[in-house]
Amino acid sequence: MQSGRLYLIPIEITDDGMSAIPAYNISIIHNIKHYIVERARTARRFISRTNPPHPISDIEFIEIDESGDSIRQCMTWLKQGHNVGVMSESGMPGIADPGQRVVDAAHEANIHIIPLVGPNSIMLALSASGMSGQNFAFNGYLPIKENELKSELKHLESQVLKRKQTQICIETPYRNDRLLKNILDQLNQNIKLCIARDITGKEEMIKTQTIAQWKKENIVIGKWPTIFLLGF
């Protein structure tokens, strides 16, 4: 029996971002009835918005867990010949997302992996920032503890100044303004900061200027998904 294929399916970044999902993706989604996802509730809501030709109750979902049981079930589906979709909580699975473990297991099992085109806030922010897309690093979430955060920001600053490398990071939305304050207070005033907020959503703002220029503004980001980029 031929193994199924593992489809990496991007979902909308914002609740009103369905226009960013290609029609081709929706045609693929409508032909898959097995999913391994970060959060089943989010995946069901997303699939419902695509107007599937069959009831949601006909679709099987498993959430990625730490034990590995969910990944073993996913591999069983694939070996039985079922195509399986991977979905993140937001955007592209496998990037800052536990879907990476599913993809790794699929490679070990020699499964055909197909990434679909769709919204990825990190790449959209980088392309719109005006900063170097030739040399960049994604750092994920920065430390929560104040002293560790300051130390990490100084490290990112050194990478910008010494290597001319764009540094990208994200934060839990309710800590956005705390991170922004630390960036403005701690880092070289000539470094550029891009704030990319609510990409593809109704509160979208993508703006790049020096830290010195940002300090002249009284900006409040709020609790919107935001990408922070440092560079020249």
Percent of the chain with pLDDT over 70: 100
**What per-residue confidence (pLDDT) applies to 150?**
96
Per-residue pLDDT band at 129 (split at 50, 70, 90): very high
Alpha carbon dihedral 115, 86, 122, 107, in 10-degree steps, equals -60
Average pLDDT over residues 132-145: 96
Mean pLDDT of the chain: 95
Q: How much is the average pLDDT of 73-101? A: 94
Q: What tokens appear for 61 in the block?
A: 């979902």
In 10 A of CB 219, how many CB atoms?
15
Report d(CA 26, CA 119) in Å as an integer: 14
Beta-carbon count within 10 A of 53 CB: 8
Give the pLDDT confidence score for residue 15 in this predicted structure.
80
Q: Give residue 151's pLDDT.
A: 97
Structure tokens at 44: 């069901």
What would the two tokens of residue 218 be? 């009284």
Q: Which domains occur in the chain, in start order?
A: 5-115 (3.40.1010.10), 121-231 (3.30.950.10)
Indicate whether 1 pLDDT > 80: no
Using the Cα atoms of residue 4, residue 100, residue 223 and residue 204 in order, give the sign of their dihedral: negative
Q: Is the pLDDT of residue 61 over 80?
A: yes
In angstroms, rounded to a whole number, what is the distance separating the alpha carbons of residues 115 and 107?
13
Average pLDDT over residues 205-220: 96
Report pLDDT for 130.
Answer: 97
Which range among 2-11, 13-22, 32-41, 139-148 shows the weakest confidence by mean pLDDT? 13-22
The predicted model gives 105-132 an average pLDDT of 96
Span 128-147, mean pLDDT? 96
Give me the mean pLDDT over the 68-79 stretch.
96
Give the model's pLDDT for residue 108: 96
What average pLDDT score do residues 108-112 get? 96
